[in-house]
């Protein structure tokens, strides 16, 4: 247990035969010990004894998206607001993801807009779609396209726009070491792609958001 910083003890592993995606938990914890040794540490040092368990618990949370089906969140639509035919935008959806190249965090915001064609969803569901894709190993461009594709499949709207603004820790804390750089990616489908006025309206909506990181 970590006494110096009084970390709360990690909850006991409930089942030592715990498996996830075919990997025994003990093997995942051993992999963390290996990386600790690789870094120059002694995994048997008191302060590190619970670390493999903590890291594996963190991985369970960070990568919980693989067990989620984003399409399911959008399966329940509200047809009763079918008369509403203006753009709907959910902006500044914060996300935490990890880049598949370095397994380092990507942190940022997603903006999602669509022009409904009779089907709208509860707004929280768009944020849930973002989480389901973010909590995986990602490439920002892929995540952007996945979110847009999901909205397109589920709602068949007249158009969809997704803009992602992400800061990649693989660039800030290692490698080229550039702080304050963020990557902006977008996927525009349907009228968002074909009609400059629709796209501009979306971009104007998201400009007034809670601020770029
Ligand atoms: N386009 C894109 N690139 C990414 C993303 N996440 C990480 N990268 C980049 O992926 C590239 C991997 O480059 P490599 O040359 O294979 O790896 P590396 O030697 O670790 O590269 P450096 O980061 O430049 O040290 C780097 O330029 C990363 O910045 C992403 O979501 N999208
Ligand atoms: Zn990376």
53 and 95 fall within a common domain: no
- The pLDDT score that the predictor gives to residue 1 is 42
pLDDT tens for residues 77-109? 887 676 788 999 999 999 999 999 999 999 999
List, edge to edge, every strand of the sheet that includes 88-99. Answer: 137-138, 88-99, 105-115, 159-168, 183-190
Ligand 1 pocket residue status of 146, Cβ below 6 Å: no
- 170 within a domain of the structure (yes/no): yes
Domain boundary among 37, 62, 87: 62
Quickly state the pLDDT bin for 212 (edges 50, 70, 90): very low
Q: Which atom of ligand 1 is nearest to the CA of 99?
A: 6
pLDDT tens for residues 157-173? 999 999 999 999 999 99
27 and 86 fall within a common domain: no
- The pLDDT score that the predictor gives to residue 171 is 96
78 and 41 fall within a common domain: no
Mean pLDDT of all residues belonging to the chain: 91
134 and 153 fall within a common domain: yes
35 and 102 fall within a common domain: no
What does 109-141 look like in DSSP terms, one character per residue? EEEEEEE-SS-EE-HHHHHHHHHHHHSSEE-HH
Q: What is the CATH number of the domain that holds 90?
A: 3.30.1130.10
- The pLDDT score that the predictor gives to residue 7 is 57
104 and 202 fall within a common domain: yes
Which tokens hold the place of 53? 């368990």
Q: How far apart are CA 150 and CA 25, in angstroms?
A: 32
Ligand whose nearest atom lies closest to the CA of 139: 1
154 and 94 fall within a common domain: yes
Helix, strand or coil for residue 7? coil
Helix, strand or coil for residue 39? helix
pLDDT tens for residues 115-126? 999 999 999 999
- The pLDDT score that the predictor gives to residue 211 is 45
- 25 within a domain of the structure (yes/no): yes
pLDDT tens for residues 39-74? 999 999 999 999 999 999 999 999 999 999 999 999
- Residue 40 belongs to what domain range? 19-62
Pocket test for ligand 1, best of 101, 165, 172 (most atoms within 8 A of CB): 101
Eight-state DSSP code of residue 59? H
Ligand whose nearest atom lies closest to the CA of 171: 1
């Amino acid at each position: 247990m970590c006494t110096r910083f009084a970390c709360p003890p990690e909850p006991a592993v409930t089942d030592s035969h715990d498996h996830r995606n075919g990997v025994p938990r003990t093997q995942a914890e051993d992999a963390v010990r290996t990386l600790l040794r690789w870094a120059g540490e002694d995994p048997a040092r008191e302060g590190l004894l619970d670390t493999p368990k903590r890291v594996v618990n963190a991985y369970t949370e960070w990568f919980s998206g693989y067990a989620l089906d984003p399409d399911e969140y959008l399966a329940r639509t509200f047809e009763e607001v079918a008369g509403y035919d203006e753009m709907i935008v959910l902006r500044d959806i914060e996300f935490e993801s990890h880049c598949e190249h370095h397994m380092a965090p990507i942190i940022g915001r997603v903006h999602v807009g669509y022009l409904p064609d009779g089907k709208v969803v509860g707004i929280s569901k768009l944020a849930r779609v973002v989480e389901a894709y973010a909590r995986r190993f990602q490439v920002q461009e892929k995540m952007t396209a996945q979110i847009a594709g999901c909205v397109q499949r589920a709602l068949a709207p007249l158009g969809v726009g997704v803009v992602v603004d992400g800061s990649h820790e693989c660039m800030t804390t290692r490698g080229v070491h550039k702080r304050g750089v963020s990557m902006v990616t977008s996927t525009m489908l349907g009228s968002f792609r074909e009609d400059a006025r629709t796209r501009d309206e979306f971009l104007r909506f998201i400009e007034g958001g809670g601020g770029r990181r």
